[in-house]
Chains A and B, each alone.
Chain A
Amino acid sequence: GENVEQHPSTLSVQEGDSAVIKCTYSDSASNYFPWYKQELGKRPQLIIDIRSNVGEKKDQRIAVTLNKTAKHFSLHITETQPEDSAVYFCAASETGGFKTIFGAGTRLFVKA
């Protein structure tokens, strides 16, 4: 069945450093790749997404890259701040499947 693997499970960085989270998906029909941030005790919220016809997308300090051939996509956060500390989930879904598969999550700690 469909699967999304996410690494690392935990990531600790110093404030100001960059953080990179990587995901691999199995369903070649996947064409939509959102990233969600979940702060402690709160609901997941979309921070950025990318569709399969685009290789890279940026939004201020956040960027996502997609390699469809390798079935890899990554989240890059630059100039990390303590408020970036949260759990980040990658996901993959495809038109027609109406199913979004999430990775297991990465707990990011940004140390001040």
Chain B
Amino acid sequence: KAGVTQTPRYLIKTRGQQVTLSCSPISGHRSVSWYQQTPGQGLQFLFEYFSETQRNKGNFPGRFSGRQFSNSRSEMNVSTLELGDSALYLCASSGGRREPTEAFFGQGTRLTVV
């Protein structure tokens, strides 16, 4: 069974630009969560999607948005990039519908904003 796949692996963007990251979950998993990982802040929860619906979101500004498609693939978009958005963005998929279960992480997309 293929794991969680994130594309691209690396991105360099300029301040003010926007970026879209992609996540393909494990086949059969309908829950996809996104996290921002920085050295000092650990893993910060961005949002979680299930069956194309955002079920919860973290404390990030509206510049961070996401969506999920009918095949459970998810995208995350960051508009008007700031230097502080430089981080590793991880997505995780899980098979749980009502009960939380193990999250399987992708390799991440490393975003650098210059």
- In the complex, which residue of chain B has the Cβ closest to the Cβ of A51? B99
CA distance A98 to B58 in the complex (A): 11
CA distance A103 to B37 in the complex (A): 12
Is A100's CB under 8 angstroms from B45's CB? yes
Chain A residues lying within 8 Å of B55, measured Cβ to Cβ, are 98
| Interface size bracket, A side | 20 to 34
In B35-54, the 8 Å CB interface with A consists of 35, 41-45, 48, 50
Is A95's CB under 8 angstroms from B59's CB? no
Instruction: State which of A89, A93, A99 has its C-beta within 8 Å of the C-beta of B43.
Output: A89
Chain A residues lying within 8 Å of B98, measured Cβ to Cβ, are 95-96
In A81-109, the 8 Å CB interface with B consists of 89, 91, 93-105
B50, B58, B100, B107: which has the most chain A beta carbons within 10 Å?
Answer: B100
Is A43's CB under 8 angstroms from B99's CB? no
Is B103 an interface position by the 8 A CB rule? Answer: yes
CA distance A30 to B50 in the complex (A): 19
In B60-114, the 8 Å CB interface with A consists of 90, 98-103, 105-108
A45, A100, A101: which has the most chain B beta carbons within 10 Å?
Answer: A100
A98-B31, A99-B48 as given contacts; A105 in contact with B108, CB under 8 Å: no
Whole-angstrom distance between the Cβ of B51 and the nearest chain A Cβ: 12
**Given A6-B42, A34-B103, A95-B99, 4 extra CB contacts under 8 A:** A43-B108, A98-B48, A98-B55, A105-B43
Q: Which residues does B use to contact A, with CB under 8 Å? A: 31, 33, 35, 41-45, 48, 50, 55-56, 58-59, 90, 98-103, 105-108
Q: Which 3 A-B pairs have the closest CB atoms?
A: A102-B43, A104-B42, A98-B55
